Amino acid sequence: MPAQARFRATVLTLCSALLATAATALPARAETASWEVSAHNGPTAVVGLDPDDGRPTLAVRRDGRTVIEPSPVGLVTENVDLSGGLSLTGRSDRTITERYEAATGKSRIRNVKMAESRFSFRGTGGARLDLVVRAAADGVAYRYVLPDTGTTGDVLREASAFTLPTGSDAVIGPYRPDNELRFTRYGAAAAPTGSYMMQALFRTAGGYALVAESDLTGSYAGARLTHDAGSSTYRVALWNDEPVEVSGGALTTPWRAIVTGDLATVTESTFTDDLAPASRIRDTSWVRPGPALWTWLAGGKEAGVSLEAQKKYVDYAAERGWPYEVVDAGWYFLPDQWDVIDPDWQRTSWIPELVRYAADRGVGIHVWLHYTLLTDPVEREKWLSTLEKWGVKGVKIDFMDSESQARMRWYDEVLQSTADHHLLVNFHGSTIPKGMQRTWPHVLTFEGVGGEEKRTNTAEHLAALPFTRNVIGSMDFTPGAFHRPYRPNVGSDAGELGLSVLYESGIQNLAGTPESYDARPEARRYLEQIPAAWEETRLLTGDPGVSAVLARRAADGRWFIGGTFAGAAHTVDVPMRLGAGRWLVETVTDGPSGLVREPHVVSGGDTLSVPVVTDGGFAAIACRWYAGRTACDD
């Protein structure tokens, strides 16, 4: 070999040896540290911390499968980025065991057991961030605590996000401040770029996951999800991307919740209520849910300004045994000017006479208010104290249309004021429950839904609501409007009837006209039996956006069943998950000449075949069967 060639070979050999030595000397990349928080027979939250950039993540697994991939967590404030550069300084654990009674919702008695871990992190300049994680049989949740906001300043944004496993599906609705847009089914990654409501349902390889929020107050702002088409990640964004103001001391954010399990577990869950603070009302004896005759879709503006019309509605509610009648917009306006408040309304209003008339017939009156009447503390006290003095039972407050921090502070004030004046509450044009009904049980329901008033709903939307919006709290869809030509189940009176049970609301505002009920005696008979509240809820069968059948148990032991279906007419097989023994099940279905009631005797666990028409549904009542029993209202 020539000398020059030998020299090149020697150099290459030496370089290779040096590179090998250098590679051996480099330390291997440290693996991400991780810690688990788990509940018995439930999901496991996995908190991770990247050793290179100090970025924390949170994943959710169930039965060895991934529900949520490792997803970013953390906060960014005006003074420090607490989404990276963090180190763990400590962990503490505890078990939370509670039992409480709910005035409204899917079940009356709630038993709660959660594992909680608090992870303390230190960031740049010594700033601190605590990540509090809870795990229960039906969900995982986390929130942030800034122990000293004096050093961090206002919150600019969250790093919080949810990354779905590849191949996941989504049932989601575009975000609007009143939360009233439709739910649609997509591939999770294929959903269009945009903002979506926080109540988003995903089907993953590890089970269903409903993303939600709980314990939102005026110390923070409401959130929405944002998504880029093609991505499996849904990020949490704050109201209008505005900073959250903090005033020193500690800040605790709302919970970011993932309700997870099989479809029945998610649908029947009370997890978002369980995360919320206990009731702030000591004596709740005056909090009485129940059905109401709602006059807006039945009578429109004319009914809102007419004492005589309202008396007729009261009479009809009394005949049906419904405990409430709701007077909507118009009652405090000048008679000939529909948008001008009568300055002498306290003296001239006919509401006191209506309240007395209704009380004599066992009916309570609720009245509509525009939220702007309650923004000034002095005016708020005038309105609410007057209504209490008159004997009004509740208020329907409308058009908040914001989840800003300022508006959430307004909610805090109004919740306390209405409780002080013993006024039940129905929020319209509003946020969604987010645990509020546990803390303030006099809140019977919220709108926050594309309900019966809408003219653009679809059968798919009706079949998505039991698995999305209605999972997290009472929902004022206002069913029963048989006279409405715009409802997606217009060809199925049985489907419309079933919505009165399928959708839970502490005050079920029935939106039909008396004439429409009288023309459907089977529907009227069914609605007369609707109880004030539910002891238990069970999903019998369903496919989000396609079908839903729920059974709800009344205090007398009867089960009320409602079902809705999107698509062609067919016969559905419904599992009777009602308990052992023999049951009489009275179904109400669509027949060629109107509604048909038919009795069936089945055993618990059997399957009942029920015919449904196109985009239709059904209603049913189940009671214990004994020889000779032919009806559940015997």
Which token pair is 176?
């609007």
pLDDT for the residue 16: 42
Q: Is residue 17 over pLDDT 70? A: no
Of 336 and 537, more confident:
537
Q: Is residue 398 over pLDDT 60? A: yes
Rounded to an integer, the average pLDDT of 473-497 is 97
Cα-flanking dihedrals φ and ψ of residue 25, to 5°? Answer: -75, -25
**Average pLDDT along the chain:** 94
pLDDT for the residue 184: 97
Among 500, 624, 608, smallest CA distance to 557 is for 624
pLDDT for the residue 207: 97
Among 528, 540, 544, 543, smallest CA distance to 633 is for 528
* CA–CA distances in Å: residue 285 to residues 51, 98, 281, 424, 551: 55, 21, 10, 12, 27
Q: Is residue 13 over pLDDT 80? A: no
Structure confidence at residue 238 as a pLDDT band (50, 70, 90): very high
pLDDT for the residue 30: 61
Global pTM value: 0.94
Residues involved in catalysis: 398, 453
Which token pair is 93?
């654990």
Rounded to an integer, the average pLDDT of 216-234 is 98
pLDDT for the residue 303: 86
Residues 6+ apart with CB under 8 A from 308: none
CB 595 within 8 A of CB 522: yes
Q: Is residue 272 over pLDDT 80? A: yes
Q: What is the pLDDT of residues 324-375, one digit of tens each?
A: 999 999 999 998 888 899 999 999 999 999 999 999 999 999 999 999 999 9
Q: Is residue 271 over pLDDT 50? A: yes
Q: Which residues pair with 77 in a beta bridge?
A: 155
Q: What is the pLDDT of residues 50-108, one digit of tens each?
A: 999 999 999 999 999 999 999 999 999 999 999 999 999 999 999 999 999 999 999 99
- Going from the N-terminus, what domains does the chain have, and what CATH number goes with each? 33-275 (2.70.98.10), 292-535 (3.20.20.70)
Q: Is residue 8 over pLDDT 70? A: no
pLDDT for the residue 3: 45
Q: Is residue 40 over pLDDT 90? A: no
Q: Is residue 182 over pLDDT 50? A: yes
Q: Within 10 Å of residue 300's Cβ, how many Cβ atoms? A: 12
